[in-house]
């Protein structure tokens, strides 16, 4: 198994970023569906992880370490990725209709800084293909599905696309992530502003109520936010999320800013969202500010710049209940999942309670109330 992991990482770095991502997903998709490789993956990764359960949004996760949206946009490698021991996978972002996304090249590596810039633009095969692929999965792993609007849909009509996606995925996912913060779809960030945000949340909650009654099933909804929000926007959005009784918030998406990127000014000036190590501090600060306003009324999923167990712990200490990996996983592979889960399980065991939730409750209780600005 270490040989497979090393081979995948070597392939990832030799090819251009988008090609390597596509091929790696194809390999994982094939291995996850092929016996005995599927069993071998599960036994050598997921099967060797300690238990570190987390109950968030009413969902029991085997551990609090998830995969962020954006890697498996079309649900083609669910079994392969799930075998690596993630507590959950966030798939997508999926839109109602297929779309090619933005013109290539649109994904750039910064190896020295362990960062990526992407301007993919919600490229995906659409809802129908996504659902067909998801129906083929053989292993049970907790999943979230990230939904978005088609690029040709005007922002003021985008709520229609979100409602279409919500109805389509409602019964086949553990939670729904609503991406209103990708910097790579024109106008999308406007959905974080009023009156569009309140209008979107009201319609999503109305749809959720109807679907829950129709199916006898409550599927939580989490909103994904930008790391580029100002403090007053964070407070406003937090209050709005509480007012509409959203189930969770994901902090954060990629940033338009370029913190720490100085090695290659040509690439640093590429348009798109930055992820990776430079995003750790900005995204963690957003988590902290959100928690100060939310005070535990809805859980936070922390995402951005996690490359080692201390990074994950810093997110949790800032107020997150779950964490997600993306660029860190791309650079370091499944060993990063194991290192973080083992570290968190060790912290729980050393605490005397044996429960990570008890540690986090005590840590979160000490987070300071925000100062007026």
Q: Which residues are catalytic?
A: 182
CA pair distance 93, 125, nearest whole angstrom: 10
How distant, in Å, are the alpha carbons of 304, 335, 341 from that of 307? 9, 11, 13
Nearest alpha carbon to residue 247 among 199, 192, 209: 209
Q: Report the sign of the C-alpha dihedral through residues 272, 175, 72, 172, in that order.
A: negative
Taking a C-beta distance cutoff of 8 angstroms, is the pair 224, 179 a contact? yes
CA pair distance 77, 356, nearest whole angstrom: 29
Q: Rounded to a whole number, what is the distance in angstroms from the first to the last CA of the chain?
A: 52
The answer, yes or no, to whether the previous bond of 195 is cis (omega within 30 of 0) is yes
Task: Please report, for the chain, how many H helices and E strands are present, in that order.
Answer: 14, 13
DSSP bridge partners of 110: 115
DSSP bridge partners of 178: 147, 223
CA pair distance 365, 87, nearest whole angstrom: 25
What is the chain's Cα-based Rg?
A: 19
How distant, in Å, are the alpha carbons of 196, 201, 247, 289 from that of 369? 28, 26, 22, 9
CA pair distance 137, 154, nearest whole angstrom: 34
CA pair distance 174, 82, nearest whole angstrom: 14
Nearest alpha carbon to residue 78 among 38, 49, 51: 38
């Amino acid at each position: 198994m270490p040989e497979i992991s090393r081979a995948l990482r070597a392939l990832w770095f030799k090819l251009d970023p988008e090609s390597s991502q596509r091929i790696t997903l194809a390999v994982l998709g094939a291995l996850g569906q092929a016996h005995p490789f599927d069993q071998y993956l599960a036994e050598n990764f997921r099967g060797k992880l300690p238990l570190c359960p987390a109950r968030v949004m009413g969902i029991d996760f085997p551990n609090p370490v998830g995969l962020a949206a954006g890697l498996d946009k079309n649900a083609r490698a669910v079994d392969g990725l799930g075998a690596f021991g993630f507590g959950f996978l966030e798939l997508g972002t999926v839109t109602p209709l297929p779309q090619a996304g933005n013109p290539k090249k649109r994904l750039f590596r910064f190896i020295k800084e362990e960062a990526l810039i992407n301007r993919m633009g919600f490229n995906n095969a659409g809802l129908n293909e996504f659902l067909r692929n998801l129906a083929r999965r053989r292993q049970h792993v907790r999943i979230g599905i990230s939904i978005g609007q088609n690029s040709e849909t005007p922002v003021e009509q985008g709520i229609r696309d979100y409602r279409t996606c919500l109805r389509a995925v409602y019964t086949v996912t553990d939670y729904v992530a609503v991406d209103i913060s990708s910097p790579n779809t024109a106008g999308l960030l406007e959905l974080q502003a009023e009156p569009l945000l309140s209008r979107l949340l009201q319609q999503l909650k109305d749809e959720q109520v109807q679907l829950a009654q129709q199916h006898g099933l409550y599927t939580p909804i989490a909103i994904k936010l930008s790391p580029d929000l100002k403090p007053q926007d964070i407070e406003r959005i937090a209050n709005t999320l509480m007012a509409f009784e959203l189930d969770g918030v994901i902090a954060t998406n990629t940033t338009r800013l370029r913190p720490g990127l100085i090695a290659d000014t040509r690439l640093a000036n590429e348009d798109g969202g930055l992820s990776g190590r430079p995003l750790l501090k900005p995204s963690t600060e957003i988590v902290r500010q959100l928690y100060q306003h939310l005070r535990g009324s809805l859980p936070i999923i922390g995402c951005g710049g996690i490359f080692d167990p201390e990074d994950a712990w810093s997110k949790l200490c800032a107020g997150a209940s779950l964490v997600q990996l993306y660029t860190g996983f791309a650079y370091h592979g499944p060993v990063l999942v194991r290192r973080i889960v083992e570290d968190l399980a060790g912290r729980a065991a050393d605490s005397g309670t044996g429960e990570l939730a008890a540690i986090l409750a005590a840590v979160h209780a000490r987070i300071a109330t925000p100062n007026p600005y």
